[in-house]
């Protein structure tokens, strides 16, 4: 099974009268991709060519000022008609987006979708153990290092049991050493959990030994 995108077109309004027959500046036209489970497909290209717009369209996030046509299938099922909350797509951005008013453990617990209270707590505790962060469980994310926050953010995303993973430059704010460690941490989980994964990046190091590369400059 896999993530599939068919006939994606993204256009930006040129005139002011939306829907009144205005012309569009096409950002992406008739773009398709097919990413198998456990594989990382890297999306590269200049700023403004549509990489992040593709991820947002797959996830069902709003694209202000853009006209989008897209067909998205996850694990063989069409999901483009579903709201974002029902698509079961994990998103990881440059910023970790952890809840500052919650502890590390509460952040993880928040993501566990189902089960009794005891079952959900057990999953959060197992995630803390895998991270080796048991001693950090009651601390605020604001007290953690950048690398620690990045790991908690990924684990919180995975606890929601996504069917696919979308990564929008998640390594870019880490220093070189932490970036390599976190990159390997992410890709190990992608392969172990067999998640089809799309990675937007400007860093050539991110595509080393990856499975596929799409140069968005061709579609801009």
Q: What is the pLDDT of residue 1?
A: 47
Q: Give, for 24, the enclosing helix (H) or strand (E).
A: strand 24-36
Q: What is the pLDDT of residue 3?
A: 75
Please tell me the distance from the alpha carbon of residue 206 to that of residue 199, in angstroms, as a whole number: 9
Specify the residue for token string 């950048």.
146
Q: What is the pLDDT of residue 104?
A: 97
Q: What is the pLDDT of residue 57?
A: 86
Question: Residue 157 contacts by C-beta under 8 Å, 6 or more apart in sequence?
Answer: 90, 91, 92, 111, 165
Under DSSP, is residue 45 helix (H, G, I), strand (E, B) or coil? coil
Nearest to 66 by CA among 109, 28, 104: 28
Q: What is the mean pLDDT of each run of 10 residues along the chain (220 residues)?
A: 69 53 59 87 80 86 76 87 92 91 96 92 95 96 93 94 92 86 91 93 71 64
Q: Any idea where the domains of the chain sit in the sequence?
A: 103-160
From residue 115, how far is each of 26, 109, 119, 123, 156 by CA, in Å?
Answer: 45, 11, 6, 10, 16
Q: What is the pLDDT of residue 7?
A: 63
Q: Are strands 2-13 and 66-74 parallel, antiparallel or unpaired?
A: antiparallel
Instruction: Count Cα atoms within 13 angstroms, Cβ side, for 164.
Output: 30
Please tell me the distance from the alpha carbon of residue 48 to that of residue 75, in angstroms, as a whole number: 29
Phi (first) and psi of residue 140, to 5 degrees: -75, 145
Q: What is the pLDDT of residue 153?
A: 94
Question: Residue 102 contacts by C-beta under 8 Å, 6 or more apart in sequence?
Answer: 110, 140, 141
């Amino acid at each position: 099974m896999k993530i599939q995108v068919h006939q994606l077109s993204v256009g930006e309004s040129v005139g002011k009268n939306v829907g009144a027959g205005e012309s569009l500046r096409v950002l992406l036209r008739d773009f398709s991709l097919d990413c198998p489970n456990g594989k990382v497909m890297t999306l590269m290209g200049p700023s403004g060519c549509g990489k992040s717009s593709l991820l947002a369209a797959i996830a069902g996030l709003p694209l202000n000022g853009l006209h989008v046509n897209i067909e998205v299938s996850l694990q063989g099922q069409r999901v483009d008609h579903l709201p974002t909350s029902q698509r079961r797509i994990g998103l990881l951005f440059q910023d970790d987006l952890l809840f500052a008013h919650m502890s590390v453990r509460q952040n993880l617990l928040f993501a566990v979708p189902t089960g009794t209270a005891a079952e959900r707590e057990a999953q959060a505790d197992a995630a803390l153990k895998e991270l080796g962060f048991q001693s950090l469980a009651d601390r605020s994310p604001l007290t953690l290092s950048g690398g620690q926050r990045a790991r908690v953010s990924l684990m919180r995303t995975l606890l929601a049991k996504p069917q696919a993973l979308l990564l929008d430059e998640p390594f870019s704010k880490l220093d070189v050493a932490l970036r390599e460690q976190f990159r390997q941490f992410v890709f190990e989980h992608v392969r172990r959990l067999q998640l089809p994964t799309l990675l937007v990046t400007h860093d050539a190091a991110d595509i080393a030994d990856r499975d596929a590369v799409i140069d968005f400059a061709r579609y801009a």
